Structure 1
């Protein structure tokens, strides 16, 4: 029997029963037509991206993240099968404990920092951190939900809808996210600041009767210092929340780890726990203590998986297996087989043979599609260098490998290195446009390079250069596409925000 346990504008969450493994699970159903419109052809693209994002985020291993069991589509619905968490979501927890003890808020935030630090290392940005996406378990530990779902419903989908309206939760949305700019770990830290402010004051810092009104306040109004609302809140905690809510990402704390270090002196020391269930300070008072206080039979250890690729597979058989897996969307398994057969293929055919080169291209592309940017980067660099040595630095394939490598650098949180590479690539794509088949297939690729350069300059704090780069891009994009095209509209919104925040 299924029970509805939550719903919102994009879908519903149900409890369900896994008959095969005899356990209760939670199933989230999302309706693509709620995002893209009932007649949009972009619903199929949304389904593909949803499954991919769920696959990437399922690889993040942290006890503070809900376990994802399955994801896919059925009819008009996208579904996500998750571990069922016994507890209360943070919104209900706050409603049942007014005023929320400030040391509870610190304990929740510290646990969230541990989760975000692991997520950002992948790197993934949650994009929709809010109380409804945080569960407090019976033993006081905090679990984060919906990792990866918001990234599908965020800025890229905004472009798909051609509405210019950001998808997400306006009350928790950072200024750069609202403007369709580059999101990063700093975006989640802003949402953490909103969440902390709400726990400590009972209300979000910026409210309004319309979504646009809320976003306007995020962009232009300063938050009210917490001690004016609750004088017992420590000075250090008020200061931290104000810095988390800084309009400029450069003025926020450097990382989730840095936020944790500031919260650490405010956490309760180890000692006896006299509270009841759902107390988020309990994990700090009694670390790793059993809950409830009775022995629990450990789960049986699973058998190690058998290798899909190895000596019993020849290269041709393994290649056929990879094609089948990719056709079924089983990218992670395909990556493992490709990585395992490359040494055997090199020994059989030669390191620089066409067969091995093709396999390595497939390996790098599949790593990128699987979100494994750290592993894809050296493969792409090697492919680019080898191709350039053979055909020259302007070779289209070499340039494309370098472009993909620069995207990896950007995803890995290395904006300076990514910026250097994009700048080096831009003259090739602009000056040799007619000779470059990749550019001919995507005539807006030079524009995309310039947009990325502008956002990276902004992320690095060079606002004047970012403004000049994006302003020139706006003029050129309007000349080619007209002012109503999504690209000029997006650039124009970023420039407006940049002028208001730093004017």
Structure 2
């Protein structure tokens, strides 16, 4: 396949790695005359034998998730240049990163200096903090997905790719295995529960344990055996292996590896604050050589060895004119029709204040614009911005039509979804539970039960995420009984529920 040109532009050169679902190549960007990295994914292998509709849906999600991840700007993240489909493949074009992946870096330095471990983790915290603010959950943080560059900077790879393959956090691959690597998988992820920033923090704990001790905390001959150990066994404190590791660092690793997400640090920012006192102060020494991850702290913002780059001149920001509401609405419709969601979001956010000034906050045109704005923010993955808009819409609609109104409930349901995506499982759980009785009442009076079943399923997965495994199992078993009675045993929903319940038993049993 070397020499193949992707999308009429990217000529594949050398394969860097491959797995069951795709390959990574170095490639040549013929238009800009530069080297890039190209990841190829086979949607039929990811979606499994579920028909063309599932493959088409995966393609759509892939482009959407790549667009969302491309918006995250941080020096610790690999830059996304392009994404799309070419023949049977999905492709993601990324910045080519020089250096060594962390797995090779660790293998070449035994034992890995604990100061390097702290420097790697601190840099990861900075990148994860930017990622989680979007919010995006990496889902597959491991040494092979991290690069140590010649200047010691750590770069996160594959941002969003695991999210693309598993954007519904409950979905398993057709082989019955959740997306991710068992050795780095948090208990809630292993059980098929909802994931969030806390899931990446657990993987960071595994990574730190491996850097400090030379091995992951939980290993085994089978994936299920490893997942069972994540769920039930305590990790070995690293100071029992390397006494020179500072006690505060050992304590932090154990907190990151807490089985219950609520017992882990609250954020990547909090983890960084615990690591900061252990970082080498600026100017206290010289890096040991290339690929020293303490270098960014010893010599912050210094040029790379043997490299001097000149940044481009800053461009002045354009001056925004007062928006024409009618013209802007027409432009938004056109942009949405073309799939240019990010631009549509910016225009909608800009015209809402002008529309409120012209027509009044409670006017139908402002309500419609706000509803479109919230929906477009969600479609663009901007859940943090969508949440207050949805809450405002829900409150206004409830005053007008009551709490049981279909549109009121839809706004609240969407708000719960935002909370779940933002990594706030307890708040999402409370919101889903608050709206469920209204949907159950509608179901009892003869309406379609699909939304009621969906909310009960989300509640089950969120119970897994907050560590209440017994309640989650009871919830999912009751839902399985009701869905089999409604749809029959071979409908996709009861089939998925049985698979999930079986998986819980397998993981528990090891």
TM-score > 0.5 by shorter chain: yes
Asked if residue 73 in structure 1 is aligned to residue 79 in structure 2, the reply is no
Contact 1:98–1:202 (CA<8 Å) still a contact in 2?
Answer: yes
How far residue 434 of structure 1 moved from its aligned partner, in angstroms, is: 6.7
Distance 1:391 1:254, change over 3 A: closer
From 479, 491, 498, the counterpart of 1:489: 498
Per-residue deviation, residues 432-475 of structure 1 (Å, max 9, x unmatched): 23779xx63xx321122223334445555666655554453344
Give the 5 Å matches for 1:33-48.
33-37=44-48, 40-41=51-52, 42-48=54-60
Name the SS for the 2:345 alignment partner: helix
**Residue in 2 that maps onto 1:26:** 37
Whether 1:259 aligns to 2:265 is no
Equivalent residue, structure 2, for 1:225:
237
For the pair 1:85 / 2:93, whether they are aligned, the reply is: no
Query: How far off is 1:338 after superposition?
Result: 1.9
CA root-mean-square deviation: 3.0
Work out the CA distance in 1 between the residues paired with 2:192 and 2:346.
35
The answer on whether the counterparts of 1:178 and 1:215 sit within 8 Å (CA) in structure 2 is: yes
Structure 1 distance, partners of 2:50, 2:484, is: 28
Aligned residues: 494
Structure 1 length-normalised TM: 0.88
User: Judging changes above 3 Å, is the alpha-carbon distance between structure 1 residues 425 and 32 closer, same or farther for their aligned structure 2 residues?
Assistant: same
Match among 112, 115, 120 for residue 103 of structure 1: 115
Pair 1:304–1:209, CA change in 2 (3 A): same
Conserved in 2, the CA contact under 8 Å of 1:470 and 1:495?
no
Task: Kindly provide the CA deviation profile for residues 478-502 of structure 1, in whole angstroms up to 9, marking residues without a partner as x.
Answer: 443556624422552586489779x
Tell me the equivalent position of 1:444: 450
Q: Which residue of 2 aligns with 1:207?
A: 219
Distance 2:111 2:172 in 1: 42
Name the CA distance, whole Å, in 2 between partners of 1:237 and 1:197. 10
Alpha-carbon separation, structure 1, partners of 2:509 and 2:262: 16
Instruction: Select between 156-165 and 287-296 the one with higher mean Cα deviation.
Output: 156-165
Shift of the 171–375 alpha-carbon distance from structure 1 to 2, 3 Å rule, reads same
Change (3 A) 1:253 1:93: same
Report deviation, 1:36. 1.4
Q: Does the 8 Å contact 1:155/1:166 carry over to 2?
A: no
| Structure 2 CA distance for partners of 1:337 and 1:258, relative to 1, 3 Å | closer
Q: TM-score, normalised by structure 2?
A: 0.87
Give unmatched runs, 5+ long, in structure 1: none
Compute the displacement of 1:141 (Å).
0.9
What residue is the counterpart of 2:411 in the other structure? 401
Q: Is the 8 A contact 2:46 2:174 kept in 1?
A: no
- Identify the range of structure 1 (129-138 vs 58-67) with the bigger mean alpha-carbon deviation: 58-67
**Among 362, 380, 398, the residue aligned to 1:388:** 398
Distance in 1, Cα, partners of 2:464 & 2:477: 13
Q: How does 1:105-184 map to 2 (within 5 A)?
A: 105-154=117-166, 156=168, 159=171, 161=173, 163-184=175-196
Query: Quick one: distance in 2 between partners of 1:353 and 1:293?
Result: 62
**Distance apart, 1:80 and its partner CA:** 1.2
Larger relative contact order (CA 8 Å, sep ≥ 6): 2
Q: Please give the secondary structure, in 1, of the residue aligned with 2:155.
A: strand
